[in-house]
Amino acid sequence: MIIEKASGKPHHQLLREKILNPLGMNDTYYQGREDLPEIITQGYFDLYNKKQLSNVSNILPGSGNGFNGIFSNVYDLQKFIEGVLINKTVLSDKSLALMQTYGPPDEINNYGLGIMKKFNDRGADYGIGHSGRDLGYTADLFWFPNKNFTLNLFINYGTDSESFLKPVFREFEKEVIDEMLK
């Protein structure tokens, strides 16, 4: 709301003009503000905690004001993390440093301003980026500066709430990180 007031433009338009277009993120869309492609991956969740998956693709849980609704692919998100954290072409050094002012850890994570330091239990092999947890989708996008590689992981099942598949995803995520850090 602040950026809309200051610029006189809607935030989805600024997102496209200032970040998506300059980074060449041509397969990234903002649901509710832009038309999605005809074919998108369907998202699922166990709505009633009965070990039965429901297609929740058409449920828009976000507020429409910058929270939720970004649809992308692994290629575009790779461009994003490279632009923000590796090549540093998106933000000023001052803004990036401010974002990476982390608070106290929550389990094994530290939260900054729009960014997080995750996998702190790995010592110097932590990741910087963000996790996305929504009703029908889960994503991890992290750069591991000590190893100089990225993790770009998507699944079409929501892990933001308790369900029978949440611990399965957490174990899968752990195993992927274990293999990457070998």
Least confident of 23-27, 82-86, 100-104, 131-135: 131-135
- pLDDT tens track for 91-122: 999 999 999 999 887 777 899 998 999 998 89
Amino acid at 32: G
Q: What is the pLDDT of residues 11-45, one digit of tens each?
A: 889 999 999 999 999 999 887 778 888 888 888 99
CATH 3.40.710.10 fits domain 39-60+74-180: yes
Domain ranges of the chain: 39-60+74-180
Share of the chain above pLDDT 90, in %: 52
- The pTM of the full predicted model, rounded to 2 decimals, is 0.88
Q: Read off the tokens for 154.
A: 């998507």
Best CA proximity match to 152, nearest among 178, 132, 126? 132
Whole-number Cα distances in Å, 26 to 6, 69, 138, 139: 26, 16, 21, 19
Question: What's the chain's average pLDDT?
Answer: 89
